Amino acid sequence: MAKEERCGGVSQETISFSILQRMNISPSVSAMQASSLRISISAHDVANINTPGFSQSRPVQTSQNPGTAITAIQKIEPPSEDYSATDLAEETVEQIRSEKELAANAAVVKTQDKMLGDLLNVLA
């Protein structure tokens, strides 16, 4: 049986379990899924930029417990049937922003994975 150390009257195992409960990657994973969907929607809009009458799609992202999610997709009607409603500059910014958000949330998941590994090594 492992030696139980006490810190302020609380066992190390209790503290470790409390840390494990707080290390929830769900918000980061849902944010990564939302970013990925935003990139897909933006790519679809760019692919149809020369399609007359194409309605641009805009994802509506909301905060949920835990994390974020795309809850709706708005359609932006073109100014006329001869043009697309897609703005290439806007879509480029959207793709860059979504890519950076995806990378940031991936870094959070990677850091949490490392911390969990280190914690398990301490407990072992």
The DSSP string of 34-102 is: HHHHHHHHHHHHHHTTTSTTPPEEEEEEEE-SSSEEEEEEEEEPPSSTTS----HHHHHHHHHHHHHHH
Residue 10 lies in a domain: no
Between CA 29 and CA 103, with CA 67 as vertex, the angle to 5 degrees is 40
Calculate mean pLDDT across residues 62-69.
74
Does some domain include residue 83? Answer: yes
Q: Is the pLDDT of residue 98 over 60?
A: yes
Average pLDDT value for residue range 33-37: 90
Query: Is there a domain that residue 6 lies in?
Result: no
Per the structure, the complete domain to which residue 70 belongs is given by 26-123
Residue 15 in any domain: the answer is: no
Residue 66 reports pLDDT greater than 90: no
Look at residue 12 and tell me if it is in a domain. Answer: no
Q: How many domains does the chain have?
A: 1
Find, among 73, 67, 72, the residue nearest to 29 by Cα. Answer: 67
pTM above 0.85, yes or no: no
